[in-house]
Chain A
């Protein structure tokens, strides 16, 4: 009995799952404490709101509709977390995902609004743009030995202002937001495939959902079953052994970051081409999506399949934050609480290590008594 439990506890897959769970609970707890400090009265209700998100709607139809909205934003997050974890398997930290996401958004919107191209062409161009940023980081890393984190952060800023400039020509006259795709070029909207009906006519639920899940599965297959995955993981685990075995380390670095960049940029087009949100050309920071991708990647145990669930969860919390009573808390509270939770999600690896030690210690104790 006890032995079987211990075996389950030692299974690495289960450990990742448990660690993620512990991080989530801890994040919620700390979030709750912060709420208590700010205003004890509304704290319980506020944290429940965050957890409930769309479940707060009593009618099934409304709940479904807002469930759909959460999913719409979970798809790009999933793509960003895939971007981060794919690079991480090769031993690279793609903090540039945020900039690649921004550039992807800029290019797909420009293609849709200025060039009036159909959606799939917009996606392809956006992916090329993201890949291009990845290649720059990759070349700097492998030829000039510039750390990909540094170049990634610089490129994040460069992309932000490039996109702001690029989209200035396609913005509404009266606001600083880009034009609505549905008014300009309906060909650029992602096909709905009837999915909108499933979610109480939520028009933003599109092909993006199944597509992002399919991409996650493809990434999983690439990492686990192909020659390319074999090489990339070997490089990430021991770059000296990879070099010794004749794997082209420099080529792989560039290739990995190119693929990562394309994934993040694709994520942006899977979001902006639904028409759910417009780009503000006065943005002074890149969308948080790319950074949240880092948390989602870790929370998902660095597995593409895990990322599907972790991305949904993180988006769920973020959306839920929007329902917190604004009369009791200032308007930034939702961001604050969800960032605390997301931040703790980044601690999964640490938590796993910690749990391992605990298991070992309890084992040892038992050995002493018996």
Chain B
């Protein structure tokens, strides 16, 4: 019987303690289509995909493939049925090569011996056919996130999967890599693969998807043809109200310098070169200064240097006029530095602590949260966390008692932002603050940042998103190969000009400055 659906998930319900993550959801994936899944942070997208991939067992509902009911007990079953998944956070073995990761679990054996030559041939063939550029012999920890992702995709193709799930694949990619991925997905569709694609970026969905299913708070709102819809309509379906895409803000009224960076250099991970090379600038109160640049040009190291996580090779840092070059991280925090870190799982959270502990990570020792004798005031910690959860709309199953690990990616990020903004720092160092957030959350975080600025705080924003840079910043510095190569006014520049600076083609700074 010729069925037009590659996968049909019917009336799926999945509950977690305190929350219905999927409430009677029906999703139909046609053969050879790219089907987008859109929804607010915590709407249940990752959960629904995990159900399809056999990682969660739903309380109710059935799954059909090509019209036949299937029973998916674990990811091995999913694989056998031709379903592959690229997770929100990759699952690769860091110290293995690309090739080893691809064949892991399905190693080709010949006369009892591993036959890698054949596997390599097949991988190179696939990589050619879908233009997925990888170096099969490179070690995972040495390659870019983009290449790691291509490895994950090749892994699915190597297993001859026909249904491919991408959970927020673009959140960690640079704009160039995103364009490449879009092209790869179109290629895959041409080859007859069916794709489920989760993204918060409406432009990407409009560009590549055929249809889009929208979830809100665990419920299915509807499925639309992308051709006949607009970004505005999609975001309204998802959030339930109109979303403003442009940030409205008054002109900045910069005051005294809050952070002064003087000729600092920071070493790169690979010894011998400087990731940040003799950089100087100031951030003043009441302004949002943005450092723009293509990923890997020293922005991450700069942030770690300012926050105290990495040591400086040379140079000086001043916060509110005080020399903090040799201050500890604790001293910098107390001195008024807030930091939204780039890597939320590595630095931002203790995943195996409950949410309320995570909300006071830098403040637990203050008299509000600890008695004179060193005992925690758990009641106060919980009350404080409850307030942040409410004010910043952090959604989770069990409020302050939720384990950080079980929260959705976007809500983990919102928890970090809540914690850092609410400490009322005089300088907020925000690195990719809206990574993985839905459009509604981005809008409200942008509003918070502007509010913080208008209260006379200084904000140093490091972002790879061109839109965010253009709409939020009061002043832009462009970083290229560890140096500041341009200072631009967002009102007078264009994305094209910014792009030229970012790629190193233009430079308006005096040499040696």
**B510 CB, nearest partner CB in chain A, Å:** 36
**A176 CB, nearest partner CB in chain B, Å:** 46
Report chain B residues within 8 Å CB of A227.
Answer: 364-365, 370, 374-376
Q: How far is the CA of A368 from the CA of B339 in the complex (A)?
A: 47
Of B57, B348, B364, the contact of A241 (CB 8 Å cutoff): B348
Q: How far is the CA of A363 from the CA of B59 in the complex (A)?
A: 10
Q: Does B330 contact A (CB under 8 A)?
A: yes
Report chain A residues within 8 Å CB of B329.
Answer: 243-246
Q: How far is the CA of A228 from the CA of B371 in the complex (A)?
A: 12
Given A240-B347, A246-B328, A364-B74, also A234-B361 (CB < 8 A):
yes
Q: Say which size band chain A's interface belongs to.
A: 20 to 34
Residue of A nearest to B419 (CB): A245
9-residue interface stretch from B130-138, B148-156, B350-358, B394-402: B350-358
Q: Does B26 contact A (CB under 8 A)?
A: no
B370 x A245 contact (CB < 8 A): no
Report chain B residues within 8 Å CB of A240.
Answer: 346-347
Residue of B nearest to A367 (CB): B57
Q: How far is the CA of A240 from the CA of B349 in the complex (A)?
A: 9
- Contact residues, A221-257 vs B (CB, 8 A): 225-228, 230-231, 233-234, 237-238, 240-248
- If over half of A's interface residues share one DSSP class (helix, strand or loop), that class is named, otherwise mixed; here it is helix
Report chain A residues within 8 Å CB of B74.
Answer: 361, 364
Q: How far is the CA of A82 from the CA of B74 in the complex (A)?
A: 39
Of B348, B351, B353, B376, the contact of A225 (CB 8 Å cutoff): B376
Report chain B residues within 8 Å CB of A248.
Answer: 328, 330
Q: Does A4 contact B (CB under 8 A)?
A: no
Q: Does B19 contact A (CB under 8 A)?
A: no
A237 x B353 contact (CB < 8 A): yes
Q: Does B143 contact A (CB under 8 A)?
A: no
A230 x B357 contact (CB < 8 A): yes
Q: Say which size band chain B's interface belongs to.
A: 20 to 34
- Contact residues, B52-78 vs A (CB, 8 A): 57-59, 71, 73-74
Report chain A residues within 8 Å CB of B330.
Answer: 246-248
Q: How far is the CA of A367 from the CA of B374 in the complex (A)?
A: 48
Report chain A residues within 8 Å CB of B376.
Answer: 225-227, 230
A368 x B350 contact (CB < 8 A): no
Contact with A along B146-167 (1 / 0, CB 8 A): 0000000000000000000000
- Contact residues, B327-369 vs A (CB, 8 A): 328-333, 339, 341, 346-353, 357, 361-362, 364-365
Report chain A residues within 8 Å CB of B333.
Answer: 245-246
Q: How far is the CA of A228 from the CA of B339 in the complex (A)?
A: 23
Given A226-B374, A234-B350, also A245-B357 (CB < 8 A):
no
Q: Does B307 contact A (CB under 8 A)?
A: yes
Report chain A residues within 8 Å CB of B349.
Answer: 238, 241
Report chain A residues within 8 Å CB of B357.
Answer: 230, 234
- Contact residues, A322-370 vs B (CB, 8 A): 361, 363-365, 367-368
**A185 CB, nearest partner CB in chain B, Å:** 37
B347 x A244 contact (CB < 8 A): yes
B57 x A238 contact (CB < 8 A): no
**A237 CB, nearest partner CB in chain B, Å:** 5
Of A230, A233, A244, A368, the contact of B307 (CB 8 Å cutoff): A244
B353 x A364 contact (CB < 8 A): no
Q: Does B268 contact A (CB under 8 A)?
A: no
**B364 CB, nearest partner CB in chain A, Å:** 5
Q: How far is the CA of A122 from the CA of B371 in the complex (A)?
A: 33
Q: How far is the CA of A237 from the CA of B357 in the complex (A)?
A: 13
**A315 CB, nearest partner CB in chain B, Å:** 32
A241 x B346 contact (CB < 8 A): yes
**A234 CB, nearest partner CB in chain B, Å:** 5
- The residue among B350, B352, B378 with the most chain A CB atoms within 10 A of its own CB is B350
Q: How far is the CA of A237 from the CA of B404 in the complex (A)?
A: 12
Q: How far is the CA of A92 from the CA of B374 in the complex (A)?
A: 23
Q: Does B80 contact A (CB under 8 A)?
A: no
Report chain A residues within 8 Å CB of B365.
Answer: 227
B328 x A228 contact (CB < 8 A): no
Q: Does B309 contact A (CB under 8 A)?
A: yes
Q: How far is the CA of A231 from the CA of B364 in the complex (A)?
A: 9
Q: How far is the CA of A245 from the CA of B332 in the complex (A)?
A: 10
B374 x A238 contact (CB < 8 A): no
Residue of B nearest to A369 (CB): B71
Report chain B residues within 8 Å CB of A367.
Answer: 57-59
**A111 CB, nearest partner CB in chain B, Å:** 31
B362 x A245 contact (CB < 8 A): yes
B328 x A368 contact (CB < 8 A): no
A363 x B57 contact (CB < 8 A): yes
Given A234-B361, A248-B330, also A368-B71 (CB < 8 A):
yes
Q: How far is the CA of A347 from the CA of B135 in the complex (A)?
A: 40
Q: How far is the CA of A244 from the CA of B370 in the complex (A)?
A: 20
Report chain B residues within 8 Å CB of A368.
Answer: 71, 73
**B49 CB, nearest partner CB in chain A, Å:** 17
Of B71, B73, B348, B375, the contact of A244 (CB 8 Å cutoff): B348
Q: How far is the CA of A268 from the CA of B403 in the complex (A)?
A: 39
Q: How far is the CA of A243 from the CA of B362 in the complex (A)?
A: 10
Report chain A residues within 8 Å CB of B370.
Answer: 227
Contact with B along A175-199 (1 / 0, CB 8 A): 0000000000000000000000000
Q: How far is the CA of A225 from the CA of B333 in the complex (A)?
A: 24
Can you sample 10 A-B contacts with CB below 8 Å? A226-B376, A228-B374, A231-B364, A237-B352, A238-B352, A241-B348, A243-B347, A245-B329, A248-B328, A364-B57
The 3 closest A-B pairs by CB, nearest first: A246-B330, A245-B361, A246-B329
**Given contact pairs A237-B350, A238-B346, A240-B346, a sample of 16 additional A-B residue pairs in the complex whose CB atoms are under 8 Å apart:** A226-B376, A237-B352, A238-B349, A238-B351, A238-B352, A241-B347, A241-B350, A241-B361, A244-B341, A244-B348, A244-B361, A245-B361, A246-B329, A361-B73, A367-B59, A368-B73
Residues of A within 8 A of B (CB): 225-228, 230-231, 233-234, 237-238, 240-248, 361, 363-365, 367-368
